[in-house]
Structure 1
Amino acid sequence: MPVSGDPVWLEDVLRPALGNRLKTLPGWKDSGVGGVMGDIFGVIWHHTGSANATAQSIRDGRPDLPGPLSQLHIAQDGTVTIVAVGPCNHAGKGSWAGLPTDNANTRTIGVECAYPKDVNNQAERWPDAQIISMRDTAAALTKHLQVPVSHNISHKEWAQLGPAGFRQGKTDPWNLDMDWFREEVQKDMDGFVFPGEHPPIAAPPPVKRFPEDWTDRELMVEILRQLRGPTLDGWDQLGGKSVVDKLAGL
């Protein structure tokens, strides 16, 4: 049966998974933008746009959008703060299988992650402490909701990649491969990670850059590697020869 209604259970569910990494904002049990949560489909993951964004700023909202902006906030040091339990202004326009188009605020739990430090760097590495708390939070919520790990989606997926296509230009969370993240969450749920024994998690692969964005040096290095092999001493596939030497021998 689906879990319905405001998630007043957030602290009870997250505390065993997070321990003292979990905090609560005063008044969280009475906070929301109005209305009541329906059947909860899953979780939408966001980044705040700045590592300096606090749980209180998520509660307060912005001049153009009243808060709270999500139920949860995750800081760079891994601290998870419960901000609200009622519907929050986090999803906006979008679509996804199992959710009503442009109407996910009452059907999903929003998580805002304080990121990045450099607002111009879309490939910034996520701090280990933060990504581990994100994973642990996702695993605990997914288990409680009794939904598959695929019910953790990114704001970008909701905004651009659902059945209704492009609905808004959201691209967050930057530099977070959601397939990789869902795999890590599934590992946690399957028991490969135990409380208090969290191995370092490698950052997801950086955002791919198109050749037109390369520096002159990066372009020259790539040309050399294509001609002479990854280590510049020939291609194994070509018998240890460069492309030019192999062609010359044909």
Structure 2
Amino acid sequence: MAAPLTAAAVLTALRAEGVRVVEVGNWRAHNRNQKGPWGPLNGSIVHHTVTRGTASTAAMVRDGYAALPGPLCHGMIAKDGRVHMVGWGRTNHAGGGDPKVLDQVVAESYVARPTPPTRGNSNGTDGNARFYGWECENLGDGKDPWPKAQYDAIVRVQAALCRAHKWSAKSVIGHLEWSSDKVDPRGFSMQQLRTDVSERLKHPASWNPGSAPTNPSTEEDPMAGITKRDIFDAVWKTDAIGGPADAADHRTNPTWQPQSILKDVQARIRSMDKRMAAQTAAITALAGQVGGGADTATVVAAVEAAIERAVIDINTKEG
């Protein structure tokens, strides 16, 4: 058993573990403490949200809905691995669960998994008082993928709590292991999650393995659906590089791809170098013919300075 971490302490623990945290509104004081106790705490429960969309999911777990007021967890772990902190204190996440499971979590006495629960939300022990709760953005249909960034964040969050309280990974359970009427999280194994948390706990909080844990059977390809055009639009369609400016550019560079932009820039620089050399030679010759008032080096330096001022003036106006 342990006293709950303070909001400041949990932020320190999460960030030390490499978790990217998003603080949502007044999350530090947003809770259901008026409805019952929070603590002593015995572990952490992982859930899935049955939702899609990070912004709407974060709003839902913070505010709740008609049948269940928020906050519905302490933090929501999004697809991109960011953890949105929405409440701190008692939250509506665990509901009722099996007291035998609670005993096994307290003692960390089970082997692979706790005894299957025989009590649920309506007739179980109050889990909201005894567990941290983490909702994870996922449809929960067994098909919606768990991206590596998200799964890695789940592991890091649970390891941060275990490290702070000196718990083992057996203090981390899924909602389906707590309550007989729940199925979440669906799509990855809680046994594997505990294995991955245990591995993190063997290392310092700053540990970054060569690759993130990859337990989920269906991994989301972060480049899926991204086309060559998408990359071009993101990289090259800026105020500084706007594409061809006239009809001649369209004729010589019809597709206007990144590689052709670079070739075009190189060609223009070479052309400018040649023109500059020719102009310098012409100025030198002219100065020699005129003679008298200024020597050749002075004339060339004056012209180059004028060109530099013009370039600076153009850049200033465009910036």
Q: Normalised by the size of structure 2, how large is the TM-score?
A: 0.56
2:215 matched to which residue of 1?
A: 203
1: distance between equivalents of 2:12 and 2:28? Answer: 13
SS of the equivalent of 1:80 reads strand
Residues of 2 paired with 1:110 and 1:130: CA distance?
16
- 5+ residue gaps, structure 1, are 161-168, 207-250
State the partner residue of 2:14.
14
- Flag as ranges the 4+ runs of structure 1 deviating above 3 A: 192-198, 203-206
**Count of residues paired in the alignment:** 193
Tell me the secondary structure at the aligned position of residue 188 of structure 1.
helix
Question: Match for residue 111 of structure 1?
Answer: 134
Question: How far apart are residue 171 of structure 1 and its match?
Answer: 0.4
3-state SS, counterpart of residue 23 of structure 1: strand
Whether the 8 Å CA contact 2:18–2:206 is kept in 1: the answer is no
Matching of residue 28 in structure 1 with residue 8 in structure 2: no
Kindly state the Cα deviation for residue 180 of structure 1 after the two structures are TM-superposed.
0.6
* Cα deviation, residue 5, structure 1: 3.9
Matched, 1:179 2:191: yes
The counterpart of 1:154, out of the listed 174, 179, 184, is 174
Deviation at 1:3, TM superposition (A): 2.4
Deviations 1:159-209, CA, capped at 9 Å, x for gaps: 12xxxxxxxx21011112110110001001112995444503323357xxx
TM-score, length of structure 1 as denominator length: 0.71
- Output the CA distance in 2 between the equivalents of 1:37 and 1:139: 21
In the other structure, the counterpart of 2:298 is none
In 2, Cα distance between equivalents of 1:70 and 1:97:
19
Query: 1:82-102 deviations in whole A, cap 9, x for unaligned?
Result: 111110000112112327942
- 2:51 is aligned to 50
**Deviations 1:124-169 (Å, cap 9, x if unpaired)?**
3311000000001111111112222111000001012xxxxxxxx2
In 2: Cα distance, 1:198 partner to 1:12 partner: 24
Query: SS at 2:17's partner residue?
Result: helix
Q: Percent identity?
A: 28
Partner AA of 1:50 in structure 2 = T
Q: Which amino acid aligns with 1:176?
A: F
**Residue 87 of structure 1 aligns with which residue?**
90
The verdict on how the C-alpha distance between 1:50 and 1:184 changes in structure 2, with shifts beyond 3 A counting, is: same
The 8 Å contact of residues 162 and 168 in structure 2, kept in 1 or not, is answered as: yes
* Contact 2:79–2:147 (CA under 8 A) maintained in structure 1: yes
Query: Over aligned residue pairs, what C-alpha RMSD do you find?
Result: 2.2
Report which stretch shifted further, 34-43 or 143-152: 34-43
The answer as to whether partners of 1:72 and 1:111 remain within 8 angstroms in 2 is yes
Q: Do the aligned residues in 2 keep the contact of 1:42 with 1:145 (CA within 8 Å)?
A: no
Between structure 1 and structure 2, the one with the greater Rg is: 2
**1:185 to 1:200, Cα distance in 2 relative to 1, 3 A:** same
Whole-angstrom CA distance in 1 between matches of 2:210 and 2:77: 17
2:257 corresponds in structure 1 to none
Cα-to-partner distance string for 1:18-52 (whole Å, 9 max, x where unaligned): 25x11111211111012442111010000000132
Give 1:81 shift. 1.6
What letter matches 2:10 in structure 1? L
Q: Does 1:131 align with 2:151?
A: yes
Q: Mark the runs of 5 or more structure 2 residues left unpaired by the alignment.
A: 107-122, 219-319
**Aligned partners of 1:177 and 1:205 also within 8 Å:** no
**Which of 77, 83, 97 is the aligned partner of 2:102?**
97
Amino acid at match of 2:95: G
- Counterpart of 1:78? 81
